[in-house]
Chains A and B, each alone.
Chain A
Amino acid sequence: EADIYQTPRYLVIGTGKKITLECSQTMGHDKMYWYQQDPGMELHLIHYSYGVNSTEKGDLSSESTVSRIRTEHFPLTLESARPSHTSQYLCASSDTREQETQYFGPGTRLLVL
C-alpha cells in the first residue's frame, strides 16, 4: 500500500466556491503529479512537480493551480469551481531511484453543482 494520501475523498460544492484538494506523501519522493480522470476515460496529466518550488502545467489545460512548498505536500486549488470541473482528481508521486514507478493516492471525486 502506497503512503500517499488525498483529502477529501468526496466533495460536493456549489459553483463559484474556492476549493483546495490536499495530497501528501510520506515516502520522500521528489516528483509529484496531479491527474484528472473522467469515468471510463484515460488519466490526463494536469500538473507536475520535480521538487520544492518547481511546478509545471501538464498536457491537459486546467484552470487549477498547484504549489510545492514542502516535499511531502502538493495541494491543488480551484479559485472558482464550475460544473465543468466535475471529475476525479488523482495525485501521484515517484522517485527517480525507483525506476519511475508512480504511486497513486485514492483520488478525490469532485462534483460541482
Chain B
Amino acid sequence: SQKIEQNSEALNIQEGKTATLTCNYTNYSPAYLQWYRQDPGRGPVFLLLIRENEKEKRKERLKVTFDTTLKQSLFHITASQPADSATYLCALDFTGGGNKLTFGTGTQLKVEL
C-alpha cells in the first residue's frame, strides 16, 4: 500500500535559520505533491503544490523540491520566524488525478527566539 513518511520527531530551530522538512513516499509516484500547514485545533492550510515534472517551486520564504527518483520532497522555510511554528503536512494523490489525498503524519516545527 502507499505510504508517506515524515519526520515524526519535532524539529526545533533558531529564528533566522532555514528549516528543512522531509517527505518520503513509497511505490507509485504521484502526479503532484502538496504541502499544508496545520496549527493546533485548526484545519490544514494549503501552502504549495509541485508537479512531477517540476524540480523546484518557490513562494516567498518557502521552497519545495520534488525528486521522483528518490521518491522524496523537501520543504524549506528560509529566515524562519516564531510565527512559522506549526505542523507541516505532506500530501499526495496516489489515484492519478482524482484528488483523493493521502496525508503524512506531519512534522512539528518550533522556531525559537
Chain A residues engaging chain B, CB cutoff 8 angstroms: 2, 31, 35, 40-43, 45, 48, 58-59, 90, 92, 94, 96, 99-107, 109
The residues of B that contact A31 with a CB separation of less than 8 Å are: 99
Besides A41-B105, A92-B43, A106-B43, 19 other CB < 8 A contacts?
A: A2-B45, A31-B99, A42-B103, A42-B104, A43-B44, A45-B102, A48-B100, A58-B100, A90-B43, A100-B49, A100-B93, A101-B34, A102-B34, A102-B44, A103-B46, A106-B42, A107-B41, A107-B42, A109-B41
The residues of B that contact A100 with a CB separation of less than 8 Å are: 32, 34, 49, 93, 99
Total count of chain B residues near the partner, CB < 8 A: 21
Counted as pairs of residues, one from A and one from B, with CB atoms less than 8 Å apart, the total is 53
Within 26-79 of B, Cβ neighbours of A (below 8 Å) are at 32, 34, 41-46, 49
The residues of A that contact B102 with a CB separation of less than 8 Å are: 45, 59
B82 nearest CB across to chain A (Å): 21
Cα separation A102 to B103 with both chains bound (whole Å): 12
Flag if B45 contacts A104 (CB, 8 Å): yes
The residues of A that contact B41 with a CB separation of less than 8 Å are: 107, 109
Flag if A101 contacts B105 (CB, 8 Å): no
- On whether A101 and B46 interact (CB within 8 A), knowing A41-B105, A42-B103, A48-B100, the answer reads yes
The 8 closest A-B pairs by CB, nearest first: A104-B43, A43-B103, A100-B99, A42-B105, A101-B46, A42-B103, A90-B43, A104-B44
Within 97-113 of B, Cβ neighbours of A (below 8 Å) are at 99-106
Interface pairs (19), CB distance under 8 Å: A2-B45, A31-B99, A40-B105, A41-B105, A42-B4, A42-B103, A42-B104, A42-B106, A43-B44, A58-B100, A90-B43, A96-B99, A101-B46, A102-B44, A102-B99, A104-B44, A106-B42, A106-B43, A107-B41
